[in-house]
Amino acid sequence: MNERVTVRDCVEELKMEVISGEEYLDRDVTKSFLSRPGVEIYADYFTFYEKDRIQVMGSKEFNLYTMLTEKEQDDRLRKLFEGNPPAFVFTKHVTEIPEKFIEFSNKYCIPILKSNLTTTALTGDLSTFLSDAGAITKSVHGVMMDVNGVGVLIKGKSFVGKSESALELLYRGHTLVSDDRVEVYQLEVGTVFGKTPKMTERLMEVRGLGLIDVVDLFGVTAFRKKKKVMLIVELVKWDQSNPYNRLGIDEETEKVFDTLIPKVTIPVQPGRNIATLIEVAAMNWRLKSFGRNVAKEFVDKLNRVVKGVDKQ
């Protein structure tokens, strides 16, 4: 993890209840993985205690704890808390949190949290959040859209029509992720996500109209916080001397972090419906992902005609 993430961020994102240690929520979370200390609790085996992770206390860990004597409970808890983990989280099926946990929470300044999720759901959601929040991000000037399930990053210089095209796509039922600035991050090679900065969630700037809230105007389906970047669309001003890519044989890519992402360049001039072109580009990308490449099929057919294999 590279960006600073705190226990408070986890509490707010997963809507967890703070049982103890409200004043300690600004503790850093440095690992995206979680720990379930069942072996440590029951067997007193701390050689591989993952003390730098959030500790998840599900029903199994809780029941193992209740099987110990009072002296053993004190000893195990002391070792757990002396490891100084970021926090302890009790999951849905633990209905009563032992008072000794709260006592040690106050002694060691470590928060105790409660989630309404089951252990499996919590570990999945919390790990995903920590991976996303802790990834290295960079800010890209552009608009991020979900077009029929395809994550499209629309780039281009100012005044080229990015926001106006995105507004037209919204009107057609597609989904906005972020306008003007997109935060992109790579989970692993081949997987890059774009997300909206918190300050501009749901907002779009349209020159002449100002800021608009897309959810208020188009409904809740008009906005989502993040989407995988599958296609980059570069909008450029029309240049008569530029031949552009007419057949689509030469496939462009753009490197974002360590990932090559397919890219199309669309020249902009009066009379061209850019939103429609972006829509078609997204559909064409999906077609290619299923193995259908119309440009390649055309060239192959043309070659067969030239060689006399097929009749025109």
Nearest to 20 by CA among 99, 134, 119, 127: 99
Given the residues 4, 93, 138, 141, the one annotated as active site: 141
Angle at alpha carbon of residue 58, lines to 56 and 61, rounded to 5°: 90
Q: Is 141 a catalytic residue?
A: yes
Given the residues 114, 174, 180, 227, the one annotated as active site: 180
Distance CA 85, CA 211 (A): 43
Distance CA 244, CA 250 (A): 10
Angle between helices 70-82 and 99-108 (to 10 degrees): 30
Distance CA 226, CA 130 (A): 14
Distance CA 19, CA 101 (A): 10
Distance CA 86, CA 193 (A): 27
Distance CA 62, CA 182 (A): 42
Q: Is 93 a catalytic residue?
A: no
Distance CA 68, CA 58 (A): 16
Which residues touch 248 (CB under 8 Å, ≥6 apart)? 284, 294, 295
- From the number of C-beta atoms within 10 Å of its C-beta (0-12, 13-18, 19+), residue 165 rates as buried
Angle between helices 7-14 and 119-134 (to 10 degrees): 120
Active-site residue list: 141, 162, 180, 246
